[in-house]
Amino acid sequence: MRLATENLTWGVDGRAIVRDVTVEIGAGETVGLIGPNGCGKSSLLRCIAGLRAPSSGVVRHDGEDISGWDARRVAQRLAFVEQAAESDSDLRVGDVVSLGRTPFRDRWRGLSAADHAIVDAALEHVDLTGLRDRHWNTLSGGERQRAHIGRALAQRPWAILLDEPTNHLDIRHQLDLMELLASSDQTVLVALHDLAMAARYCDRLVLLSDGAVVADGTPEEVLTGERLREVYEVDACVGRDVLGHLSISYRVEAR
């Protein structure tokens, strides 16, 4: 599924958080959304996911303007994983993943056999099969995050949007998650803080600063020392690590 925005602007109380953003994400692409804290990554994701109506501009899913679409229509093709969505409810892991079937259920009936098969597969895919009967409040942060990913997978989306999904994950699960996102043929748009991780797994990076796109291209094109200095205000040195992956080192002046 192709995702696109045209001159998208969104703000609250007259203050623009996302400014005039035009991006296009091709079907099956894995695109990383990077930028400093407060640059509008989460807001842009929410606009593209149809959770916020743009103040001006257009969001397109497969070329169609989504304004006026109901939530269910969007949810049948696109999944969104919030940053650390919490609950004090006593749901079990299996129930949380089953929530992914919500856009496809009708009011009168429970989960169908097909729904159960999908939920089982999603649990298996995020390595939570053994924990399916565990209660939410007994899970670690990483297990919760994986349950949310599993929930998104159970939605069987054509596109999946994630906001800082690697937070709370140890390095093993970070790598597994990024591997999963990069290898799937779904369209993936993922907001990330870890620039090296973004560079390694994303086909393309979109760099936001103060709500606007300042760079859009391959990791090598986007992550240059000069640009990182401008946007993040750090003295960064971009090179290769021993395995040949793009790596970024930071010089800190002693104060």
Partner 1 sequence: MPGSASRTGGLPPVLHPAAAVDQPRTAPSGSARRAGGGWFALGAVVLPVSLAVAMVIGSGDIGFAELGRVWGGHLGLDVEPLPRLLDSLVWDLRVPRVLMAAVVGAALGVCGAVLQAVTRNALADPYLLGVAHGASTGAVLVVVLGVGGGALSVSGGALVGALGSFALLLALLGKRGLGSVRVVLTGIVIGLLFEAVTYLILMASSDADTTRAVLSWLLGSMASARWDSVAVTAIVCGVGLVVLWLHSTALDGFAFGADTAASLGIDVRRTRALLLVTTALLVSVVVASVGAIAFVGLIVPHTVRFLLGPLHRILLPASALAGAVFLVWVDALARVAFAPREVPVGVFTALVGVPIFLLVLRRRGEL
CA distance 154 to 125: 10
Q: Does 167 bind partner 1 (CB under 8 A)?
A: no
Q: Is 180 in the site for partner 1 (CB under 8 A)?
A: yes
The span from the CA of 55 to the CA of 46, in Å, is 13
> Any contact of residue 155 with partner 1 (CB under 8 A)?
yes
Q: From CA 197, how far away is CA 169, in angstroms rounded?
A: 13
Q: Whose Cβ is closer to partner 1: residue 5's or residue 145's? A: 145
Query: How crowded is the C-beta side of 237, counted as CA atoms within 13 Å?
Result: 6
Q: Which phi and psi angles does 139 have, rounded to 5°?
A: -90, 155
Instruction: Single out the segment in contact with partner 1 by CB under 8 A; choices: 17-25, 99-107, 190-198, 241-249.
Output: 99-107
Asked whether position 102 contacts partner 1 by CB under 8 A, the answer is yes
Coil, helix or strand at residue 95 = helix
Q: How far is the CB of 150 from partner 1 (least distance, A)?
A: 9
**Would you count residue 2 as binding partner 1 (CB under 8 A)?**
no
Q: Which stretch binds partner 1 (CB under 8 A): 44-52, 59-67, 236-244, 246-254?
A: 44-52
CB 37 within 8 A of CB 43: no
Q: Report if residue 168 touches partner 1, rule: CB under 8 A.
A: no
For 15: left if phi > 0, alpha if psi spans -120 to 50, otherwise beta; the answer is: beta
Q: State the residues that interact with partner 1 by CB under 8 A.
A: 46, 49-51, 70-80, 82, 85-92, 94-96, 99-100, 102-103, 105, 107-108, 110, 113-114, 116-122, 124-127, 129, 132-133, 146, 149, 153-158, 173, 176-177, 179-180, 183-186
